[in-house]
Amino acid sequence: MAAYLSALGLNCALGQGKHAVATALFAGDASGMRAQSGWVADRELTVGAVPGSLPELPDLPGHPPSRNNQLLLAAALEIEAEIRAAIAQFGADRIAVVLGTSTSGIEEASQSIAAYLNQGALPAHYHYAQQELAAPASFLSDWLGLSGPSYCISTACTSGARALLSAQRLLNLGVCDAVLCGGVDSLCRLTLNGFSALEAVSAERCNPFSANRHGINIGEGAALFLMTKQPSPIALLGGGASSDAHHISAPQPEGIGAQTAMRKALAAGAIDASEIDYLNLHGTATTHNDAMENLAVQAVFPDGVACSSSKALTGHTLGAAGALEAAFCWLTLSEFNPQKLLPPHIWDGQADPALPALNLVATGTRLSNSQPRRLMSNSFAFGGNNISLLLGEEPGEKMGGAL
């Protein structure tokens, strides 16, 4: 059954809030991707950091400060009115929190451990709860006074997308009446050094699906949806999940698991591939992932589909990526996109001759006039973990809010 995405708060390298993100996204503005030093020794890397200041965290017992929670709080504050209205309508015990993350407070915990190694004692402010993967969900629940189910999912780069599927399942089972769901991840030295050790990180801005691609950029951000069963203009029509378990880090070369996830999503929405108006590609700009996804898209969409990767604009936000890119689909269908533009594919235009051609979106391309419009978003992760989400318009519903 469809679930409705009635409110969205977000931030990433494109900006903070729906209006700022949408403006930069549809313009293909990659200015938020900037070279920084200090993350990996003796290397300057392009990263996607959230610009501007973040809100101060409330003083909650058991929740030591972390940038991850600041990113999450900024997203939640954008839709606080809608959240408070849901609490008043349904009750604090009928609202769940399901988030995807991979970093939690590991950056701050790592700094404390470094202090221990250098000085022989942990800082007074250190607390092990800071680095627990469930910390973002617990923080959000405690800040809002919620007592419904609350947990985090950590399946690497599919975490945020899987959180949306889990939220939909909770609603369909009647466990709750509303879910705050999405993903959050902050820039983290441990993560950047890990991907650097895998020789997967590009010093320059990433170049998805180019013959010249040579690695990812890491980014940070948060996307938080309010999901209910009450009709609103944009719905999560369904999704598909698969696990091909081909390799601990490399994808299955022909994209068998990716194909399965996309076909399951289409089946869940009772939609034919020809009805998809746009596909947000996982598109990390690594050699093997892009090749795999290219082949999988050709297999599922033999007649082609308008598609793009947004990672040249945001970096790969890891545990937040699946939710953030679903948010880009949401923005594409919303009143925050009055010209009905598609997210453009930013690259050098040099297609890989070894791969089938994709219908990559140029800046200024508009969404089709078909009604209702259906969009898909792909997320693929280490271990062969694959998710495809299907979002669509609900005819007759008017989007609230203005630019």
Question: Which position among 307, 316, 329, 345 bears the catalytic label?
Answer: 316
Give the β-pairing of 276-281 and 374-381.
Answer: parallel
DSSP 155: -
Which domains can be identified in the chain, with CATH numbers?
3-393 (3.40.47.10)
The pLDDT value given to residue 402? 29
The pLDDT value given to residue 316? 97
Question: Which position among 282, 307, 329, 345 bears the catalytic label?
Answer: 282
Helix (H, G, I), strand (E, B) or coil at 266: helix
- CA-CA-CA-CA dihedral for 240, 201, 203, 329, to nearest 10: 10
The pLDDT value given to residue 239? 97
- Give the count of beta carbons closer than 10 Å to the beta carbon of residue 39: 18
Q: Is the omega angle on the peptide bond into residue 136 within 30 degrees of 0, that is, cis?
A: no
Query: Residue 75 corresponds to which tokens in the numbers above?
Result: 């997203």
Span 154-204, pLDDT tens digits: 998 999 999 999 999 999 999 999 999 999 999 999 999 999 998 899 999
Instruction: Return d(Cα 25, Cα 20) in angstroms, integer.
Output: 8
Reference 50, options 73, 81, 28, 79; nearest CA is 73
Query: Is the torsion defined by CA of 9, 133, 380, 291 positive or negative?
Result: positive
The pLDDT value given to residue 401? 33
The pLDDT value given to residue 268? 95
Instruction: Return d(Cα 269, Cα 274) in angstroms, integer.
Output: 13
The pLDDT value given to residue 130? 77
Instruction: Return d(Cα 215, Cα 137) in angstroms, integer.
Output: 31
Over its C-alpha atoms, the chain yields an Rg (Å, rounded) of: 20
**Around 319, how many Cα atoms within 13 Å sit in the side-chain half-sphere?**
28
Q: 157 catalytic, yes or no?
A: yes
Q: Which residue type does 386 have?
A: N
Phi-psi region of 261 (alpha: psi -120 to 50; beta: other; left: phi over 0): alpha
User: Using an 8 Å Cβ cutoff, are 212 and 348 in contact?
Assistant: yes
Longest dimension (CA), the chain: 64
Span 39-90, pLDDT tens digits: 999 999 999 999 999 999 999 988 989 999 999 999 999 999 999 999 999 9
Q: 282 catalytic, yes or no?
A: yes
Residues with pLDDT less than 50, the chain = 396-403
Reference 15, options 389, 331, 279, 284; nearest CA is 331
The pLDDT value given to residue 370? 85
Question: Which position among 12, 152, 157, 307 bears the catalytic label?
Answer: 157
The pLDDT value given to residue 403? 27
Beta bridge partners of 44: 37
The pLDDT value given to residue 248? 74
The pLDDT value given to residue 395? 57
